Structure 1
Amino acid sequence: YDDCVASGADAILISAISEAGVAAKINEGMGKGIVNIAVANPILETPITARITPDFYQKGFQTGEYVKKYLGDKQGTAVAFPGPQGSGWAETYMNGFRDSTKSGNIKLVGEMFGEASVPAQLKLVEDALQTHPDVNVIWGGAPTAEAAIGAVADAGLSNVTIMSSYENQTMLKAVKDGSVLGFATEYPVIMGRIGVDLAVRALEKKDHEKVLLVAPGIVTKDNVDKIDTTQIFAPDNWRPVFSVE
């Protein structure tokens, strides 16, 4: 953030890992008249120009609803892996999925928070499969789902449904090959474009929304070929630019 300010940025788009960690810097930037836009990760308490963020609760809730629909008359026994405790977003995802399981055909038997990496999630999933041998639904973030594919196969289980609460390229492949039931998406490419548009509108002193909440979509094998994935993923030849001369 300091580098952006020092370079003379008129607007800064922020995807904060922790609001508390950047709150003082945002306040400093706002005090200097810099436009601050929160994109993806929410800035809820700190005064900011505008924000566009996913509805994490609905992503958790809607993925739960989809699993219930998929199971039909079958009873589901689920363990949930929402992500790192204390992050805020993981708890919100969890609240949504938990509320979905309060009715219908899924019994939630465990909630296991942990680092959002494949190795960390693999250990949690393996522990859950040992602790709950009757589990047939694994719900969590993309690293959880990726870890679960291998863990379930290694355990010799063929009746476990894996659902991801958010997207990455691995999830796209896994949905296509059937190893993951589906994932929720927040259309991050479009969200980024709108974030830039909000910044430009603010700089031009035009009317703009202050708070935008993105309704999730659910991507499954049934609709993956019909969805414009360029709204979700960067083009294959895209590379990040870390400095502008």
Structure 2
Amino acid sequence: MRSLAVLALSWLIAVPGFATQWYPLHVLVDGREANYQPLTAASRPWRICALLPHGMDRYWWGVAWGLDQEAKRLGTELGIYEAGGYQFDAMQKAQLTRCIQLAADAYVIGAISEQGLCEQLGLLQKKNVPVIDLVNRIDCPGVSARSQVSFADMAKAAMAYIQQRSGGRPVRVGWLPGPKDAGWVIDAEKGLAEALEGSQDVLVPAGYGPVDRSSQAALVRKLLTREPGLDYIIGNAEAAAFAGQLVRSSGGRYKAEVVSLYATERVLEAIAEGTVQASPTDSPVIQARIAVDLAVRLLEGRQVPGQVSPRIEMIDQANLKNFDISRLMPPSGHWMIRQELPE
């Protein structure tokens, strides 16, 4: 079955869709629907520093690829740094310090925690250096604009799918969000709480942890051992993919259906093979492209909105073949991009 799923996903990746012409794009601009049209080119080769939390899966490979492709299209220079995981906030601070030493013109940051970089961002704010908040949410002064999708809305979309699928029957839902202090996890928990208001559905928290496979597998096993009768599980991509496989291999001991909080290549494979039912996607490649464009606009004195958000799409087996994979991951054969900002 897995070979069929991988074949289906390979077919998707082979479909033309990785062209540089990603625009105009229907998005939300400060909460209102609009068509986003990026700049044709930068007026000079601005030097942009991008900081990402890790490069362990194709979600962040896609972000790095989108950053790199848009920087090349606009004619800017780009450094891409990844900290190695959500537990390495000190590394991300050190990487930010490195870019400050290199005198980057602007910063695009997928933050490990919502307030971990506040002191350094305050110094950049005093110098009027543009900072774009990418994907994860930063809660600090000094953010100039945001390219991100609300993970509160992502969690609501996942829960709405479950509530529609359950047909109004009260259900027990296991919850494996990810690292505790990440802004996107905090937002997801707020959104899920709002989605559950007034319902009889019960949320069963399974704890927090880094989004690597081994950490999430341990949390999934503990959750299902403690709560074998769960109806559904919502989890980060690694938790969801592992939970789906564990439920299938349990011989009927576990019956939970699994919905991912966000989509990665592994989640799409699991949807194709039926071990994960569905996932919303926040189009991380597009978020990355928009972030670079926003940085250049600010450097060139143009007005920018406070936040630009690609539209959330729900992916399941019914629409998987029609989904534009270039919004989510790099083409086949492209790995995580790590590169020093040119001096």
Q: TM-score, length-normalised on structure 1?
A: 0.90
How far off its partner does 1:52 sit? 1.6
Question: Is residue 65 from structure 1 mapped to residue 160 from structure 2 by the alignment?
Answer: yes
- Give the alignment of 1:166-185 within 5 angstroms: 166-185=262-281
Question: Is residue 191 from structure 1 mapped to residue 287 from structure 2 by the alignment?
Answer: yes
User: SS of the counterpart of 2:175?
Assistant: strand
1:75–1:18 Cα change, 3 Å: closer
| Aligned residue pair count | 244
- Corresponding residue for 1:17? 112
- Give the alignment of 1:1-245 within 5 angstroms: 1-72=96-167, 75-103=170-198, 107-115=201-209, 116-157=211-252, 159-239=255-335, 240-245=337-342
User: SS of the counterpart of 1:159?
Assistant: coil
Return the letter of the residue paired with 2:225: Q
How far off its partner does 1:187 sit? 0.6
User: SS of the counterpart of 2:148?
Assistant: strand
Considering only aligned residues, what root-mean-square deviation do their CA atoms show, in Å?
A: 2.1
Q: Which consecutive unaligned segments of at least 5 residues does structure 1 have? A: none
Return the letter of the residue paired with 1:208: V
How far off its partner does 1:85 sit? 2.2
How far off its partner does 1:103 sit? 4.8
Say which structure, 1 or 2, has more relative contact order (CA 8 Å, 6+ apart). 2
User: Percent identity over the alignment?
Assistant: 25
1:73–1:38 Cα change, 3 Å: closer
- Corresponding residue for 2:58? none
**More moved, 127-136 vs 56-65:** 127-136
> 1:32 & 1:101 partners in 2: Cα distance?
44
> 1:133 & 1:14 partners in 2: Cα distance?
39
Deviation track 1:80-118 (CA, whole Å, cap 9, x = no partner) reads 1122223332232123223323455x7324112221232
**More moved, 203-212 vs 164-173:** 203-212
Q: Which consecutive unaligned segments of at least 5 residues does structure 2 have? A: 1-95
Deviation track 1:128-179 (CA, whole Å, cap 9, x = no partner) reads 2222232121111111112202321343236321000012110011111111
Asked if the contact 2:107–2:131 (Cα under 8 Å) also holds between the matched residues in 1, the reply is yes
How far off its partner does 1:243 sit? 2.2
Return the letter of the residue paired with 2:262: Y
